[in-house]
Amino acid sequence: MQIENFNHVPVLLNECLEGLCIKPDGIYVDGTLGGAGHSKEIAKRISKNGLLLGIDRDEEAICVAKQRLKEFSNVELIHDNHDHIKSILEACEISAVDGILLDLGVSSYQLDERNRGFSYMADSRLDMRMDKSTGKTAKDVVNSYTEQELANVIFEYGEERFSRRIAKNICEYRKTKEIKTTLELVKIIEKSVPRKKTDGHPAKRTFQAIRIEVNDEIKPLYQTMLDCIDVLKPKGRLCVITFHSLEDRAVKKAFVEAEGKCTCPPGLPYCMCGYKSLGKMIPKKPILPTKEEMQQNSRSKSAKLRIFEKI
């Protein structure tokens, strides 16, 4: 792997830095290290007494970040999953942090690197694992799931209305031959989805769905948000960038629950329901990229940033 080939343009960079309200001596976590674009700017803003923990599931990302952040003595890199934030901090003997950043979804490098199998635009083996050292692959999902299981995954995680037809054709194809490459899968999908009935590439939604299933990106997300809020110090902030509605819904749901809401009838002199708020969303609505950023980085177009500040 060539480090210079590990392209990463940090999305909503200035908005994230502002949202974190970085303190020079604070402890911060970048739970999705990637190409270290966000991390490098955070590291610049903390002192030698501060600390940045960079976490990523992808060992290649860790290797690249190690090189790109070698000038900083206040950075510690960890190969793990941000869903394990509590156990990670416990192992580091850290009880609470001043800020956490999560840039969810697949990275530009993972999409562009052919041998990772994330992209429907290049032929490669079906893998799609963010952590190549463990877990099932896209090949496992495509060849071992039942037709009903495949249809459910493609519909739920890809919001693909032709999910049943795609699942049926996948199962028909694999009766005679194991599906091993992205190109094989793309051809099956293209035969299943009418060109005039889809926006963009017909395989886009299915590839997203299989990637999410392989990496278990959605199911733990709600609890991960609550865990992140739990380990924040008072006035600490959690900044989360999402790229599709499934991620954003899980993040928003967790933030709304953490913020809490009084359910007492209007007019009572004081609260009787006993609700407890952990903090507040800042602002209430997600922050979107500027037009300039969307023009310069097309992958930022669907990005949304939500920020939660703990009481």
Q: Which of 193, 215, 237 is the last residue before a domain boundary? A: 215
H-only helix segments in the chain = 13-20, 37-44, 59-68, 85-91, 108-112, 138-144, 147-158, 163-173, 182-192, 204-215, 221-230, 245-259, 291-296
CATH assignment of the domain containing 178: 1.10.150.170
Domain-located, residue 125:
no
- Picking from 215, 241, 268, the residue at the C-terminal end of a domain is 215
Report yes or no on 110 lying in a domain: no
34: in domain: yes
Residue 263 has a pLDDT of: 84
Q: Which domain holds residue 12?
A: 3-105+222-310
Q: Which of 180, 215, 250 is the last residue of a domain?
A: 215
Contacts for 12 with CB less than 8 Å, ≥ 6 apart = 241, 287, 289, 293, 300, 303, 305
| Residue 113 domain-assigned (yes or no) | no
| Structural domains counted in the chain | 2
Residues in the chain, pLDDT under 70: 1-8, 197-198
The pLDDT of residue 115: 81
97 and 230, same domain (yes or no) = yes
Any domain includes 68: yes
Does pTM surpass 0.85?
A: yes
> Would 205 be classed as within a structural domain?
yes
| Domain-located, residue 111 | no
pLDDT of 76 reads 98
123, part of any domain:
no
Do 235 and 191 sit in the same domain of this protein? no
